[in-house]
Structure 1
Amino acid sequence: MTTRLPAAVLWDMDGTLVDTEPYWMAAEEELVGSFGGTWTHDDALQLVGSGLWESAAVFQQHGVDLDADTIVARLTERVQQQLNEFGVPWRPGARELLEALREASVPMALVTMSIRSMADDVIRQIPFAAFDAIVTGDSVENAKPHPEPYLLAAALLGVDIVDCVAFEDSPTGVASAAASGAVTVGVPNILSLDDAPATVLWSGLEGRSAADVAALTDLRKASA
């Protein structure tokens, strides 16, 4: 078995590195409720992993009488307030695996559909320079599940996407990473990935090492 590390590791943020989905769901419920509408947990689940501007159209359908940019700004501001109040809820093992890969000199990119200011808030909580490139929802034309975010990340790093490993927690994100050609690791959080096109499923990141990530390079042919 090869032990060669991937050319790069590409990370989703919300739900994969940090468990911020409850923050987003609370912000969504508050927003829709402020316009007299009802927003259920099932409604929120339908948007997990989606782009913010694509999600804005759904909120408008639920009675939010604001333009898309204002919706995105209000949701992001509310989530950032919760981050400041309650802290960044890292998923178990996430920071440790980031640090192990950084110590192994593996290039890494953050690939999130949150906007840049939100990503920066989370990145500031990491006590080392974790990412060599950052792709956010306001830097792409096509949000996940389109492959553009992951293809852009690989281009920014100067590597071939098929030599990369991507970590995702949602069906939408897995679809994006898999369509790009990356070896795609599904790490389920609040949604099942049983039917998602992940190359492999991990139950979590806790206890995982750079060697575990290196072993994934054997799965490249299967993901092509």
Structure 2
Amino acid sequence: MGAVTTTSSADSRPSAVLWDMDGTLIDTEPYWMAAETELVESYGGTWTHEQALQLIGAGLLDSAKVFQAAGVDLEEQAIVDRLTDSVADALRTKGVPFRPGARELLADLRAAGIRTALVTMSLRRMASDVVDLIDFEAFDLVVAGDDVALPKPHPEPYLRAAELLGVDIEDTVAIEDSRTGVTAGVASGAVTIAVPNLIPLDGLGAHVIWESLATRTAEDVIAVHARHTAEVAR
């Protein structure tokens, strides 16, 4: 009879939890959609809710090409800057709209001694503004859209975060709300938790789908990672 290998709770803890920002940590999607609508309409075009949904989680420079096709007569970087400024202004004036349970889970992970990183396709200056508005030390590092050559759904943002943290990507957990984000997390090798916001996330290979972060704790994240670790070991 073969020896039975067991995994201790300490071994099953993830080395880090990697958070998406827009739509996962904070509910900025309505801010982005309002900024997009104002931008396109200022050039005489129309922008629908369905079009806005297609850009959730996309890289900003890739999105800029879509706005150019919709009639926005600006260079790509100028489009990115205008949208970012609009959303950043909304955050400053309206506050940081955390997704239900997100702030509590983030704080619980920190209290449990689990490292965290913010992995977002927003510009670093906007990500820094958001981090500065959180009333505790929330992240060990930030990887933003202008820090990588290839945006989500490419795995580079998550691989970069793991590299900077000095951990194995397969020993991390990624939390995402978009199709591009979940695709990036899964492709990177991170244990990926999908938390749908405005769009369904079925069929993308997420290791688990949570309908909300409300009431979720660090122990829940550890359990997802431990379960995946055990499955791989088997």
Q: For the superposition of Structure 1 and Structure 2, which TM-score range results when normalised by the shorter chain?
A: over 0.9
Do structure 1's residue 39 and structure 2's residue 47 form an aligned pair?
yes
Listed one character per residue, the Cα deviations across residues 49-93 of structure 1 (whole Å, up to 9, x for unaligned) are 000001000000001110111000000000011112211110111
Secondary structure in structure 1 of the residue aligned to 2:17: strand
Residue number among 19, 24, 27 corresponding to 2:35 in the alignment: 27
Instruction: Give, as a single letter, the amino acid of the residue that structure 2 aligns with 1:173.
Output: G
Could you say which residue in structure 1 is the equivalent of 2:177? 169
Return the alpha-carbon distance in structure 2 between the equivalents of residues 220 and 82 of structure 1.
Answer: 41
Could you say which residue in structure 2 is the equivalent of 1:190? 198
Listed one character per residue, the Cα deviations across residues 194-222 of structure 1 (whole Å, up to 9, x for unaligned) are 12221100111111111111111221476
Residue number among 111, 119, 140 corresponding to 2:127 in the alignment: 119
Return the alpha-carbon distance in structure 2 between the equivalents of residues 116 and 127 of structure 1.
Answer: 19
Could you say which residue in structure 2 is the equivalent of 1:86? 94
Instruction: Give, as a single letter, the amino acid of the residue that structure 1 aligns with 2:188.
Output: S
Report the Cα offset of residue 133 of structure 1: 1.3
Return the alpha-carbon distance in structure 2 between the equivalents of residues 57 and 171 of structure 1.
Answer: 19
| Structure whose alpha-carbon radius of gyration is higher | 2
Residue number among 164, 169, 179 corresponding to 1:156 in the alignment: 164
Distance 1:151 1:122, change over 3 A: same
Report the Cα offset of residue 223 of structure 1: 8.0
Identity of aligned residues (%): 60
Distance 1:214 1:31, change over 3 A: same
Do structure 1's residue 98 and structure 2's residue 106 form an aligned pair?
yes
TM-score, normalization by structure 1: 0.97
Secondary structure in structure 2 of the residue aligned to 1:165: strand
Report the Cα offset of residue 130 of structure 1: 1.1
The answer as to whether partners of 1:2 and 1:215 remain within 8 angstroms in 2 is: no
Listed one character per residue, the Cα deviations across residues 144-177 of structure 1 (whole Å, up to 9, x for unaligned) are 0000000000001000000000000011100000
What's the Cα RMSD here?
A: 1.4
Could you say which residue in structure 2 is the equivalent of 1:219? 228
Return the alpha-carbon distance in structure 1 between the equivalents of residues 92 and 111 of structure 2.
Answer: 29
Return the alpha-carbon distance in structure 2 between the equivalents of residues 2 and 206 of structure 1.
Answer: 27
What is the count of residue pairs matched by the alignment?
224
Structure 2, unaligned stretches of length 5 or more? 1-6
Return the alpha-carbon distance in structure 1 between the equivalents of residues 102 and 139 of structure 2.
Answer: 14
Return the alpha-carbon distance in structure 1 between the equivalents of residues 172 and 51 of structure 2.
Answer: 33
Could you say which residue in structure 2 is the equivalent of 1:206? 214
Secondary structure in structure 2 of the residue aligned to 1:15: coil
Distance 1:149 1:223, change over 3 A: farther
Structure 1, unaligned stretches of length 5 or more? none
